[in-house]
Amino acid sequence: MPEVLGRLRAARPTGIAEHPGTPFRLAWAVERILGRLPGDTRCLVRSVVLVGLLARRSVATTLVIGVLPGDRLKAHAWVELDGRALLDDGGSRYERLTEL
């Protein structure tokens, strides 16, 4: 996963002018569009797509993977910008396992 994210973040910027609301608009679009597509569009896929879109706009983000404490392993992924979740973070129920 670090290698994939590294490649996404190393992509050439598009030169699109940055607007302060762009990360949130893109997060909304990723949720809305990927949620309607067939195939695996769970939280990790959505997070990687959003990281890639924002990296092309030179917006540095953090992909967070968290786990729910308990007997069964349940994991969740989301993207943060300056400590604010751009995608659903599970309502702080998840303990951070790693940040990429």
Report pLDDT for 86. 95
Domain residue ranges in the chain: 2-8+20-99
Across the range 46-70, mean pLDDT stands at: 93
Give me the pLDDT at residue 14, please. 66
Q: Please provide the DSSP assignment of the chain as one string.
A: -HHHHHHHHHSPP--PPP-TTHHHHHHHHHHHHHTTSSS--SHHHHHHHHHHHHHTTT---EEEEEEE-SSS-EEEEEEEETTEESS---TT-SEEEEE-
Which is more confident, 91 or 76? Answer: 76
Model confidence band, residue 17 (pLDDT cutoffs 50, 70, 90)? low
Is the per-residue pLDDT at 4 higher than 90?
A: no
CA atoms within 13 A on the CB side of 38: 0
Average pLDDT, the chain: 89
- Determine what percent of the chain is predicted with pLDDT higher than 70: 94
pLDDT in tens, 61-80: 999 999 998 889 899 999 99
pLDDT of 6: 83
**Could you give the CA distance from residue 67 to residue 95 in angstroms, rounded to a whole number?**
5
